[in-house]
Amino acid sequence: MSNPSESRTASAKALPTENPPLARAPPRLLRWYLEKVDAFLSESIRQGPVLDLNRARFQVNLSVVISIITALFLFFVAPKFERPWPLVLVSLLSLTGIGLSQVMLHWMSSPRIPAMIQCASSTVPTMTIILYVGEWGTALQATAMLIPLASVYLLGIRKGLIPCLLLAANAALVHPFLHARNALDWIIGAFTALAILTVCVMSGLFTRSRDEAQMSLERALRTQSESERKLSSLLENTEDVVCSLDLGGRIVTANQAFRQLYLQHLSRELQPADALRELLPLEDPTRWTERFRQVLGGHRVRFEVTLAVRGQARVLDVSLGPIAGEAGMPEGMTLFGKDVTASKEAESRLGEMHRNLIDVSRQAGMAEIATGVLHNVGNTLNSANVSAELVIQGLRGLRVSSVVKTLELLREHAGHLDSFLTSAQGQQIPAYLEALGKELPEAKERLLEEMRALRESLENVKAVVRMQQEHARYLGVVEPVAVPQLIDDALRLQGRSFEALGIQVRREYGPVPLVMVDRHKLLQILLNLLNNARHALEGRERSNRWLTVRVSRAAQARLRIEVEDNGTGIAHEHLPRLFTQGFTTKKTGHGFGLHISALSATELGGSLSCTSQGLGQGATFTIEVPLEA
């Protein structure tokens, strides 16, 4: 069991201060006296358990007291007797036993055996002297009360009871039997024995209580020491800087990480009572005073400080908190600092990656629009090509060569047309001209219809290109946008694809105001959702493919856009990961579109979500954006 005065360990390396707190020290005379007493004890006892040390000190003091009493008895009492030599012999034996116990205390590691010798050297001579002096023995019984107290304290209640019982038996039985003159002497002896036993019991109870209290204190100190050791190990092994401050902001204790940072930053060792503001300077020094005031007011303050350590900038996330005293008033402050340089750099790189991702997403959105434009222009040009082919075929089908041959015949027979027209060959010309007169108007109408279709296709190409140029012009600009019109533009870009797949588009537009939003980002989200819906509907029967787009006002001044289809649907286990980068259920997908759309919706101050009843049950994607940017 260790000495409590040496069992306490500091939770962090303590720095000496110019004005350390004064501990309550014992008086100088008492310290001198304890040093002299400890000189009689062995090193093992001095460094051993506190209980054994205190018992050994008690033995030394008891030996001194008994030696003084014995010496006084020899010089002043023993000479009064006619035969003093038995008293002198017993006293010398007692002093010899006491001296032997003191020698053993100086060499042995435990005071138990010396205590037994000392108790025996006190009990037996005392009983002998009491019996020898006769009537005077009754007066010596009071002096003998010291032996039960010492025996129980030194040996414990069980072993210390033996001297007590011997003294009690001597007082109640042996001494009255030899020297009693009347019943009163027996009564006095009985009361003396009762007093000895009472003292023995009370001393045992007191000693036991004191020992238990001492052991509880030592257990508490060991527990505290173990906790402090673990805390010290934790603080010393952590990479975070930790220190405690006094009320003036001066450093009291600090862990290894703090001392190392101090050395690296200021190129000198941490000195007693160094101010924290020397390590963590701020642009405005008065801010330290304000922060200390807040902490001493019971609040925790958190801030970041940038230090130059070996030519490199290091960012510390600092937390200052109060240390409450017994009365609840602050007695100091604690500082915890975490090096967040790596996380700051990671955040910077992440921000750069995010900006690059946004740029890529915008380029992807532009590519998506361009793809829609090319797809629709391609479809329109196919229609124009078909119309042009029909016009060509129609023109080829006109019997222009027959008309030329007829004109040549009439020119050849210009001099005798009357005879020629009455001939068999000439009689066919009127019928031929009549048939040609009926065919040419019909051919004209067909060609005009195809030319109108060709012109409409070219107008459609022109409108699609103009719409693409219109949206590309507003890239990154927040402006009032008519959302229903923007949805119509998105549907127009996908219109030819929807018509080719037989997708029925339903529009359910509620009365909504203009929305302050980035037109290009919202269009990009819509095109991505419409494109996903088109792919989802390819798995349905052609006669049962429909897509519904709803626009309505939502709560909290927001606008809601819903894109619902009856396509293949989404499995329940896929919904939580649907907007995660890289996740896709398409065989040729890359998991990029929905992730970018969700990021774009967040940048617009809104959100993108999805609901689905499961596979084969379709899906509904919901965009919500604030009405005001």
Distance CA(330)–CA(385), nearest Å, equals 88
Please list, residue by residue across 115-142, b when 16 or more beta carbons sit within 10 angstroms of its beta carbon and e when fewer do.
Answer: bbbbbbbbbbbbbbbbbbbeeebbebbe
How far apart are the C-alpha atoms of 601 and 609, rounded to whole Å?
10
C-alpha–C-alpha distance, residues 599 and 514, integer Å? 22
**Angle, helices 50-72/28-38, rounded to nearest 10 degrees:** 90
- Which regions in the chain score pLDDT beneath 50? 1-24, 474
Pairwise CA distance, residues 614 & 41, whole Å = 87
Tokens 């005009």 sit at which residue?
A: 448
List residues bridging with 548 in a β-sheet: 506, 564
What integer pLDDT is reported at residue 549 of this predicted model? 94
Tokens of 448: 């005009």
Long-range contacts of 544-548 (CB under 8 A, 24+ apart): 545/501, 545/502, 545/503, 545/504, 546/503, 546/504, 546/505, 546/506, 547/498, 547/503, 547/504, 547/505, 547/506, 548/505, 548/506, 548/507, 548/508
Tell me the C-alpha to C-alpha distance, in Å, between residue 553 and each of 40, 343, 510, 587.
95, 41, 8, 36
Q: How far does CA 522 lie from the centroid of its chain?
A: 36
Q: Which helix (H) or strand (E) holds 308?
A: strand 301-309
- Say whether pTM exceeds 0.75: no
Query: In the prediction, which pLDDT does 12 show?
Result: 44
Q: What is the pLDDT of residue 461?
A: 63
pLDDT value for 466: 62
CATH class assigned to 236-345: alpha beta
Provide the pLDDT for residue 282: 59
Rounded to a whole number of angstroms, the distance between the first and last alpha carbons of the chain is: 72
**Residue 14 has what pLDDT?**
47
**Domains of the chain, residue spans:** 40-231, 236-345, 348-469, 475-626
For domain 475-626, the question of CATH label 3.20.20.140 is answered with: no
CA–CA gap between residue 217 and residue 237 (Å, rounded): 29
pLDDT at 360: 67
φ, ψ at 298 (rounded to 5°): 100, 5
pLDDT in the model for residue 399: 62
What angle (nearest 5°) sits at the alpha carbon of residue 477, between those of residues 476 and 480?
Answer: 140
The tokens describing 606, both together, are 């809104």
The per-residue DSSP string of 462-515 comes to HHHHHHHHHHHHTTT-EEEE-HHHHHHHHHHHTHHHHHHHTPEEEEEE-----E
| Cα 142 to Cα 161: distance, rounded to the nearest angstrom | 18
